[in-house]
Amino acid sequence: MGQEYRHIGKAVARKDARDIVTGRARYIDDVKLPGMLYGKVLRSPYPHAAIESINTKRAEKYPGVKAVLTWENVPGWSDGTPRHRPLLDRKVRFVGDAVALVAAETTRIAQEALERIEVVYEKLPAVFDVEQAIGPEAPQIYAQFPNNIFPRGIRAFGPKALQEVVMGDVEQGFGQADFIAEGTAAYENIPNPLPPEPPGVIVQWEGDNQLTVYTGAQSVVMMRNFGQIFLNFVDIRAIGVQCGGSYGTKGSPILLMGYAAALSKAAGRPVKVYYTKEEHFGAWRLRLGSRVHARVGIKKDGTITAVSGQWLVDTGASSEIAQGQIAVGCGEAQLILRCPNWRLQPHLVCTNRNQSGAVRGFGGLELKSAFLPILNMALEKAGIDPFAFFKKNYIKAGDGYFWRDGKWWVYGGIDYTKAMEKGAEVFGWNDRWKGWLRPTAVRGPKRTGVGVGVHGNADVGEDPSEARVRLNPDATVVIHSCVSESGTGQRTSLCKMVAEILNLDLEKVHMTPPDTLVNPYDFGLTGSRGTYAIGSAVIAAAEQARTRLLQLAAPVLGAAPEDLDTRDGRIYPQGREEKAIPWVRAIGIERTVSGEGRFETDFTLANLMMIFAEVEVDVETGKTELLRVVAATDCGQIIDPLSLEGQLYGALGAAGIDTALFEESVLDPTTGRLLACNMMDYKWRTFQELPEFHNVILETPMPSHRFKAIGVGEISSAPGPSAVLMAVSNAIGQRLTDYPATPDKILKALGRV
């Protein structure tokens, strides 16, 4: 256990809890501006088509309609990486792609106006498979991207952004191997994490080159920064409302902002664009598709000598930030494999399925879910226990890796071996593991199998963060930080850090709403960066404010600042609380005391999550039941136990573990349509189906900041799919290499269909 604190490590109610449960919390659909109109999007029924003609006259004349936009009269804004996706285009590239926009007095009127728009399409050939898409006969989806391959690299990560993992001499490495395994595996079921609230924005122009956007985004700074590029560098003020659960998909709904901004400019009034649940399913961003052809060399002692392969990444109809996901995935692969010889080369492919974008796991989940089944083939050949292998090969202090910026970083964090061993002990791995493709137990037609997966991320220190902490004379404190609440309780955790430093009740510490006009810079809650990156900036600001407070109190108390302490809004010489004075005596009533803090990017630390899974498979029906899960990690120091536990339980949902069993978006290859665009047909796990779930959380002080903590939330789901697929394969005695392990695939592997 770590140091004993007043607030840190203690379970407390979230500061926004009462507002959420009483309905006072404002979500985007609760915001109404004077004169606000409602925007709707007409969507393509075809996966690939050219618009021959479009007639909007009936829609324009419909009572209550204030603006109708098509590719012919919409602003020339474009989005994507690189910029390639016009706000509206003459060509549509997936079922659900935008064709026209309408703003009206009500959502009903806007919807009825859409039905009055007449469109004539020229249907074009479509392609949905990555390897077919790069073939010589494939239809070209964008003229500027030959063979439907997007360029790699992303300016946001720097001029040397990681595009591949190439180092050493792979041929020499394979020559040193005792065993070589080769194969193909795929994680292509494009699951939709689907937060409870659909995405939405409200845009209001304040002038010709200035607008305000209200958003439930995970990061209002991303809305401002990326939005400025999208809208050709207008001045954007982004204001965040309650985000709720994000699961990584609400980073920045830039395209929606573009729709609303264009309609607002045309109508001269504020416009809200808020997706229906059907649009959320069928037109919002999905996870990248991932297919890996790879070769792995291994020695008898579990040393990996070489990895080579092709990573085919399906980004769908456009690349939101897929190049960044590839960069992070390539970095994360190096954390789990200490290998000197690599030639892993990604190819980013455009297809006519729905567009992809940022989702929890951000590249690493997609790569490892597809790569680990091939690695398992090598472990099977060598007869090596996968847990022992992961324990040996996970990054250790002094090991280096190329991270997303293409620079070489040396890991300086803790050894996670103890956390892995404790997880294995709680799970009972040594007793349950019987060998590759061997069930743990057989009871009639039912077979039990176990599996293990591992994941880690050095993005815990990604991107700069700034914060200010203001002390008021009445002993209340305000944190100025542009952090949205995305369902994790991070804003409360930041308040706990400041309350701990200033020795105040938590009720005395408040935080400004996320608003780019009034707050300093912060990139947002991504990559588990909240605890380390944002926390470091807030801690530095609170410490500076405390120092300045004690400096003001020193002459009043006749003592040196370093000999003073503060508690509950009173300052006193250390050990002499009877001499205490209130803050107001030191500050005065016409002053506040502020401190500033800034965190600079640091990729020398990484987190870890190991998941153990046990399944039971009925070999007569192919049905699989997830029996038991153990999630093991080390967070350095628990900041808030309830938030941390909740994050780890999130391994089941948010397109995590259950993408190995049933959670998927089924695409009809004859029409290009997703077949489960509603809450009835999309399979979810209910409360009655929850497995036994144990969290193993160690606290080994991490060299991060004052509280020695590191974030682990974003990675909690990432090791789950590969662990479950391994468990199912072991249970049935046949290797499965794609997801999900549905009954038909299991029965086919068993030769029963």
- Mention every residue, 6+ apart, whose C-beta is less than 8 A from residue 430: 424
Token pair of 504, please? 């105040």
Which of 4-18, 133-147, 648-662 bottoms out in mean pLDDT, i.e. has the lowest? 648-662
Please answer whether residues 527 and 462 qualify as being in contact, where contact means their C-beta atoms are separated by less than 8 angstroms. yes
The per-residue pLDDT for 750 is: 97
Picking from 485, 496, 501, the residue whose alpha carbon sits closest to that of residue 640 is 496
**Going by C-beta distance under 8 Å and a sequence separation of 6 or more, which residues neighbour residue 748?**
none
For the record, the structure tokens of 561 come out as: 């600042």
**CB distance 77 to 87 below 8 Å:** yes
Q: Counting every residue, how long is the chain?
A: 753
Contact 33, 27 (CB under 8 A): no
Q: Does residue 53 or residue 3 have the better pLDDT?
A: 53
State the DSSP code for 534: I
Give 597-627 pLDDT, tens digit per residue: 999 999 999 999 999 999 999 999 999 999 9
Q: Is the pLDDT of residue 463 over 90?
A: yes
Q: Per-residue pLDDT for 141 more than 80?
A: yes
User: Is the dihedral angle over the CA atoms 569, 641, 221, 534 positive or is it negative?
Assistant: positive
Q: How many CB atoms lie within 10 A of CB 435?
A: 10
**Average pLDDT, stretch 682-702?**
92
How confident is the model over 563-605, as pLDDT tens digits? 999 999 999 999 999 999 999 999 999 999 999 999 999 999 9
Roughly how many angstroms between the first and final C-alpha of the chain, as a whole number? 53
SS3 431: helix
CA–CA distance, 745 with 623 (Å, rounded to integer):
10
- What is the residue-wise DSSP string for 675-710? S--STTTS----GGGPPEEEEEEE-PPPSSSTT---
The CA-atom distances, in angstroms, between 238 and each of 3, 79, 211, 427, 487 are 39, 18, 9, 46, 19
Q: Which of 753 and 235 is assigned the larger pLDDT?
A: 235
pLDDT above 90 for 257: yes
Q: 365: closest CA among 247, 204, 255, 471?
A: 247
199 neighbors 173 (Cβ within 8 angstroms):
no
Domains of the chain: 17-26+463-599 (3.30.365.10), 31-124+199-274 (3.90.1170.50), 289-460+604-749 (3.30.365.10)
Residue 294's nearest CA partner among 282, 312, 271 is 312
Residue 713 confidence (pLDDT): 85
Residue 654 has pLDDT above 70, yes or no: no
Q: Please report how the helices 364-382 and 386-393 are oriented relative to each other, as an axis angle in degrees rounded to 10.
A: 120
Residue 1 confidence (pLDDT): 47
Rounded CA-CA distance 432/629 in Å is: 13
% of the chain exceeding 70 in pLDDT: 100
Using 50, 70 and 90 to split pLDDT, how confident is the model at 655?
Answer: confident
Q: What is the pLDDT of residue 176?
A: 98
Measured CA to CA, the distance from residue 85 to residue 259 in angstroms comes to: 13
Q: C-alpha 663: how far from its chain's center? A: 18
Mean pLDDT in residue range 444-468: 97
Q: What percent of the chain has pLDDT over 90?
A: 87
Range with the poorest average pLDDT among 309-323, 535-549, 662-676: 662-676
The overall average pLDDT reported for the chain is: 95
pLDDT tens digit sequence for 45-57:
999 999 999 999 9
Cα separation, 487 vs 167, whole angstroms = 40
Query: pLDDT tens digit string along 360-382?
Result: 889 999 999 999 999 999 999 99
CA distance 687 to 195: 17
User: Packing angle between helix 720-732 and helix 364-382, nearest 10 degrees?
Assistant: 40
pLDDT at position 461, please? 96
